[in-house]
Amino acid sequence: MKKPLLTSLLQNARFSYLLVGLLTLASSARSQVNVGNITNSNLQAPLLVSPNSVYVLGNYAYVASAASNALEILDITNPATPLHKGSISDGGGAAPFLYGPSSVYVSGNYAYVASVNSNALEIVDITNPAAPVHKGSVSNGAGGGHF
């Protein structure tokens, strides 16, 4: 049996958020542990294959999902039962450079997603977490941003 692989860790004053293995998001408070499993069978979040990075802001966790080529947004108001809120994936004009996202950072109403396979930075407007929107991007060797 394979051992879980910790792929990302983010901590704030109240919780630690871990991405472990392929599809588990765990959070722990100081004296208790609450674990919410995120899988295709128990959550409407089909874009969580090989999550690489998580960024938590307020009641939302933003997950860069490498094999899904997507940014997945989860409502973690109750960390024991995270819920799918929204997502945006590579291609089709929705997000042209989310091929192999490896890292995510959130500031204000924007998520900044670095994608290894695209050699790019994708900028996503997350004003409405249920419906994230491609805002802009910049890729290696493309001569500048695409807005």
**The pLDDT value given to residue 27:** 42
**The pLDDT value given to residue 93:** 64
CA dihedral (126, 15, 49, 47) positive or negative:
negative
**The pLDDT value given to residue 95:** 81
Q: What are phi and psi of 20, to 5 degrees?
A: -125, 135
CA distance 86 to 21: 22
CB 94 within 8 A of CB 134: yes
**The pLDDT value given to residue 113:** 95
Q: Where are the domains of the chain?
A: 6-146
**The pLDDT value given to residue 33:** 32
Instruction: Extract the tokens encoding 76.
Output: 């973690």
**The pLDDT value given to residue 128:** 97
**The pLDDT value given to residue 15:** 54
**The pLDDT value given to residue 4:** 40
CATH classification code of 6-146: 2.130.10.10
Which stretches of the chain score pLDDT less than 50?
1-7, 20-43, 147
